[in-house]
């Protein structure tokens, strides 16, 4: 029973059914016949057939002139940019790209054999985040393990910052999208009230609805751009956190022979000679 409940598809289906059950639906007997509803609509607005093209989604938004065109272009550019970034991040922010398979084991075997140059060449042959961290440690091998560990920590932090800056553009798009939608909302309301001012308060509801419709449409467009962008940013941020932690672990695993060798050298080093006694004069 627990396994069945853990199925996300089943939870989603139950949620949809619950929302459908809670939605108030008017009984069919309370609704007028279809013929009466059609005739009433035609009587209320006899020019419905003529205004079909002008009341389309793009037509309403573009009715705002250059402002409406600018909003459409901005939303289109943001959506294309967000989609491109998501595709690029899916292809580049993954384990096989940041940590090539077998690189950690190859470097570890080379260090066990005492071949530091070979290990560095193996990292050069597989450029990646892990290789960058390992090569940073190799550059400080002469300073002992504390210097190597500090260099790898700095390199790991640098690579993490680079990845975070890379996915930050999705957050920027997610914050700009609602602002563009808000711009359309404001301009749509301006057009609606301008119609009221031009007609001295005699504007019909159909004339006001065009500006309000434009305001709502642009708001929805901004949210449709922002919500997926912010969701993708959160997903990639969590992925970067996990991959950076895995890079640090594999780097420590690969450099373990160097750490043990440095610890062995420190163990066999003779203790420093005691300081000479102070030369004191006769009492």
Domain regions of the chain by residue span: 65-262
**Average pLDDT of the residues in 16-31:** 40
Residue scoring higher pLDDT (16 or 62): 62
What pLDDT band is residue 71 in, cutting at 50, 70 and 90? Answer: confident
Distance CA 251, CA 133 (A): 7
Q: Residue 81 belongs to what H/E stretch?
A: helix 66-92
Q: What gap in Å lies between CA 267 and CA 130, rounded to an integer?
A: 30
pLDDT value for 274: 61
9-38 mean pLDDT: 42
- In the predicted model, is pLDDT for residue 8 greater than 60? no
Q: How far is CA 166 from CA 32, 86, 158, 162, in A?
A: 58, 11, 12, 6
Q: How many CB atoms lie within 10 A of CB 63?
A: 16
Output 137 or 68, whichever has higher pLDDT: 137
Q: Are 119 and 107 in contact (CB under 8 A)?
A: yes
End-to-end CA gap in the chain: 93
pLDDT at 83 over 60: yes
Q: Which two tokens stand for residue 239?
A: 């992925």
Structure tokens at 253: 């695993």
**Whole-model pTM?**
0.67
User: What average pLDDT does this structure show over 135-145?
Assistant: 89
């Amino acid at each position: 029973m627990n396994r069945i409940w853990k199925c996300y598809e089943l939870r989603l289906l139950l949620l949809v059914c619950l929302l459908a059950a809670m939605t108030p639906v008017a009984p069919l007997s309370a609704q007028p016949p279809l013929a009466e509803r059609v005739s009433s609509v035609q009587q209320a607005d006899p020019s419905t057939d003529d205004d079909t093209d002008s009341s389309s989604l793009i037509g309403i938004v573009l009715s705002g002139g250059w402002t409406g065109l600018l909003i459409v272009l901005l939303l289109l550019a943001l959506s294309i940019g967000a989609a491109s970034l998501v595709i690029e991040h899916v292809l580049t922010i993954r384990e096989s790209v940041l940590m090539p398979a077998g690189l950690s084991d190859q470097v570890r075997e080379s260090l066990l054999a005492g071949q530091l140059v070979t290990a560095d060449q193996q990292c050069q042959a597989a450029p990646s985040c892990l290789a960058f961290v390992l090569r940073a440690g190799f550059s400080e091998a002469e300073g002992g393990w504390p210097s190597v560990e500090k260099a790898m920590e700095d390199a790991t932090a640098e690579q993490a910052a680079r990845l975070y800056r890379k996915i930050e553009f999705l957050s920027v798009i997610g914050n700009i999208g609602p602002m563009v939608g808000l711009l359309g909302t404001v301009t749509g309301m301006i057009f609606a009230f301008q119609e009221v001012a031009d007609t001295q308060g005699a504007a019909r509801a159909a004339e006001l609805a065009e500006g309000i419709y434009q305001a709502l449409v642009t708001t929805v467009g901004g949210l449709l751009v922002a919500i997926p962008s912010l969701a993708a940013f959160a997903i990639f941020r969590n992925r970067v956190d996990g991959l950076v932690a895995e890079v640090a672990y594999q780097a420590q695993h690969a450099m373990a022979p160097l750490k043990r060798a440095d610890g062995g050298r420190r163990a066999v080093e003779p203790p420093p000679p005691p300081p000479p006694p102070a030369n004191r004069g006769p009492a």
